[in-house]
Amino acid sequence: MSKKAQQIGKRILARIKSRGRGWVFTPSNFEDMCGRSTVSTNLQRLREAGQIRQLARGLYDYPETHSKLGVLAPSADAIAKALAGREAIRLQPSGAYAANLLGLSTQVPARMVYLTDGASRIVQVGNRQIILKRTTPRNMAPAGRISGLVIQALRHLGKEHVDDEIIAQLNRRLDRAACDQLMKDICYAPGWIAEIFRKLANGKAGGA
């Protein structure tokens, strides 16, 4: 290996370590250093040396380790962030995963669904599936904000299953700033969810 190639390899490893354990990345995270083929060659070397882990084609992580549990699985959000960065797309947690993130469901789904303005696809990582589902611009308008997460969680639960206890859980979970954001994005919510937004906002205004 040439001296230049060794230097590039060291720079790539230094960047990986600087991001810390648990970072999920793709070759595009290093294309400012060298060409794609050189990046791929270096990542392959690091994988073979056991310094990084390959999760799927073109997807790697610098795995976290636990003294008792060993090497830990990457978080779904870390995987999604890496995919979003590589493909220059936006992602919005949806379905059971959105409800779980808000504490409205204890179910940790094996299939994590994200709405996207990019192409639909399925990424298999171990025994989990990260599902990217293309949706409308309206659904993606509040993506990345608490309002988008609440809309998707409530849609998953369904109007008939959203009772006073669910609203109370949301009220405990959301602070005044979050409720203000709900009201800013109320135009993107279906009518029945918009009513819940108003209840939550009025509750905070009343000191709840």
203 pLDDT tier (thresholds 50, 70, 90): confident
Which CATH entry fits the domain spanning 3-71: 3.30.420.40, 3.65.10.10, 1.10.10.10, 3.80.10.10? 1.10.10.10
Q: What is the pLDDT of residues 97-107, one digit of tens each?
A: 999 999 998 88
Rounded CA gap, 72 and 94, in Å?
Answer: 24
**Would you list the domain boundaries of the chain?**
3-71, 76-205
Q: What is the pLDDT of residues 128-160, one digit of tens each?
A: 899 999 999 999 999 999 999 999 999 999 999
Q: What is the pLDDT of residue 120?
A: 94
The answer to whether residues 158 and 102 touch, using CB atoms and an 8 Å cutoff, is no
208 pLDDT tier (thresholds 50, 70, 90): very low
pTM: 0.83
Q: What is the pLDDT of residues 13-72, one digit of tens each?
A: 999 999 999 999 999 999 888 888 899 999 999 999 999 999 999 999 999 988 888 999
Rounded CA gap, 94 and 148, in Å?
Answer: 9
The answer to whether residues 62 and 52 touch, using CB atoms and an 8 Å cutoff, is yes
